Structure 1
Amino acid sequence: MKRNIIILIVCIASFSGFTQPSTNSYGSNPEAGNYADVNGIKVYYEIYGSGLPLLILHGNGGSIRSQSPNIDYFKASYKVIAPDLRAHGKTEDPGDSLTYNDMTKDINDLLDKLGIDSCFVLGQSDGGIIGLKLAMDYPKKVKKVAVYGANIQPDSTAIQNALIEWGYNIIETTKDMHQKRLYTLMKYQPRIEASKLRTIKAPVLLMSGDRDAIKLQHTIEIFKNIENSNLFIMPGATHFGGYEKADLFHNVVNDFFTKPFSKISTLDYFK
């Protein structure tokens, strides 16, 4: 077990956003990319495909490029909007406070700039947190939201202890001020109360790996507090299950997006 935790830590240390090797130009494609002035900063984004809009949000330390497998898959059926989050990739870092509230407002304002009234949302890790906050703070913007490896608290009730200790050590020892800002964000945020989750009306698909950095019970608690939600625990998967088992991940998410949401119960079969 200890060996598995060490391996996971090394993976996250290598790159929090988890970038898959790729020959595409996602994240640096002048034909698909542009900047938008929103919420006091310049946000970089790229658009691919056509159809119903799908917003794809990367995790902490990631970028558009880290979402390459998801863009590849979903651009065939959707109009994919993939931004670099505040202080990530090519999007500006104003150097002041970095909060999930600001990042969520950035994305809402970007959608306004693009004339998108509502969309599907797919978010991984921090992108999942922002996806949930979009559904809470700007409910009209979200048709459905699928999140993988999201947390609503930054402490040991949500995150594996070994990873918390490792993150604290990074903050104390790194000389990279940008890296320190990103890890400090995760140290103190998010702090979302269960009562706020209960205000979400859009259908939500909550996903996690059975060997995730986010504790399984925490994901289940989020699921229990969102009325219109389904839960998917990916077997044999870590915090990066969307990449480790991409085919399964894409099939589950696409099924959720394309089919009408329903809340079924085993008891329905006995009526």
Structure 2
Amino acid sequence: MTADDWGSDAKGVGQYADVNGINLYYETHGEGSPLVLLHGGLGSGEMFGPVIPALAERHQVIAVDLQGHGRTADVDRPLDLGMMAADIAALVEFLGLGKAALVGYSLGGGVALRAAIDHPEVVEKLVAVSAHARTDAIYAEMRAQQGQVSAAAAEFMKDTPMYQLYQRVAPRPEDFPRLLDKIGAFMEQDFDVTEQIRGLQVPTMFVAADADMAPPSHYVEVFELLDGGLRDGGWMNEGRPKGGHALAILPGLTHYSIFSSPLLAAVTLAFLDAPAQQLPS
């Protein structure tokens, strides 16, 4: 796979927004209710190239390049979910969207989730893709690999789509080792947002591959935090989770293929376009 495999013929309109102390790049595709799309670590909005056309048929897709990724230059602060979530909330406000659906994958899923926790006033619905709720949910061998991510790995990544994309679009291509250092430091931090997930105030769908970085059982556990998977759904959906939450485990995919799969576009559209249910008071 190369960075070119992530592209598509759908060319969006690219712009920058000065928000929250960062010059954030975003690209707009299509028309309709707003959908903010957040990529994974070491990627950019271009990762979603294969699925953007389907999403943009029914939504105004705003594909963002997060701090230090893609066409958004880094700033003097660590990679932090809370800060990046604040960037996205500020962007929604800057664009005058009121509220937007947030769809995020991996790192972007963590940012989208944190935005829904910290800034629910700007989130219409949330789709968190391949985003685990606590550090120990992912496989031990993956934790070991993550511990090796640093600037020293830059030389060994030159044949990867992440490196090739960064070199092609980044304002400062020489910053790739710095990004690796920041990603490595970010992944070293333990976190657990299970209790915050339990209190989510926006309709949320967790999505994972059936061979993801964390086992399917973890996402079932997270769904249970949202009142899901605890009873029969009922003929009239009366037993479904209060608040319209959902879970999707996508077959035949991995953490490294789910973001460009037509299955992801299909379940995302089905969830976003379904009538919203009221959260219990």
Q: When the two structures are superposed, what TM-score results if normalisation uses the length of structure 1? A: 0.81
Q: Is the 8 A contact 2:6 2:50 kept in 1?
A: no
Matches within 5 A, 1:98-247: 98-154=79-135, 157-171=136-150, 173-174=152-153, 176-188=177-189, 191-227=191-227, 228=243, 229-243=245-259, 246-247=261-262
Q: Alpha-carbon deviations, 1:177-212, whole Å to 9, x = none?
A: 3212112212215x2432211221211111111110
Percentage identity across paired residues of the two chains: 29
Q: Which moved more, 1:196-205 or 1:226-235?
A: 226-235
Partner of 2:231 in structure 1? none
State the distance in 2 between where 1:232 and 1:217 align: 12
- Deviation, 1:21, is 4.1
- Higher RCO structure (Cα 8 Å, ≥6 apart): 2
Q: 2:7 aligns with which of 15, 22, 26?
A: 22
Within the alignment, does 1:48 sit opposite 2:64 as a pair? Answer: no
State the distance in 2 between where 1:248 and 1:62 align: 20
State the distance in 2 between where 1:50 and 1:172 align: 40
Q: Alpha-carbon deviations, 1:197-236, whole Å to 9, x = none?
A: 1221211111111110123232222212124421111122
Partner of 1:36 in structure 2? 17
Q: Which AA in structure 2 matches 1:224?
A: E
Q: Which AA in structure 1 matches 2:148?
A: N
State the distance in 1 between where 2:93 and 2:83 align: 15
Q: Which AA in structure 1 matches 2:153?
A: T
State the distance in 2 between where 1:159 and 1:111 align: 31
Q: Which AA in structure 2 matches 1:232?
A: A
The SS at the match of 2:50 is helix
Unaligned runs of 5+ in 1: 1-10, 264-271
| Runs of 4+ that moved beyond 6 A | none
Q: Is the 8 A contact 1:19 1:62 kept in 2?
A: no
Q: Which AA in structure 2 matches 1:198?
A: R
Q: Alpha-carbon deviations, 1:28-80, whole Å to 9, x = none?
A: x6xx1111111111001111111111111101111011111232211111111
Q: Which AA in structure 1 matches 2:7?
A: S
Unaligned runs of 5+ in 2: 155-176, 228-242
Q: Which AA in structure 2 matches 1:144?
A: K
State the distance in 2 between where 1:19 and 1:201 align: 38
Q: Is the 8 A contact 1:174 1:180 kept in 2?
A: no
Within the alignment, does 1:91 sit opposite 2:72 as a pair? Answer: yes
The SS at the match of 1:20 is helix
Q: Which AA in structure 2 matches 1:208?
A: A
Q: When the two structures are superposed, what TM-score results if normalisation uses the length of structure 2? A: 0.78
Partner of 1:268 in structure 2? none
Partner of 1:256 in structure 2? 271
Partner of 1:79 in structure 2? 60
The SS at the match of 2:252 is coil
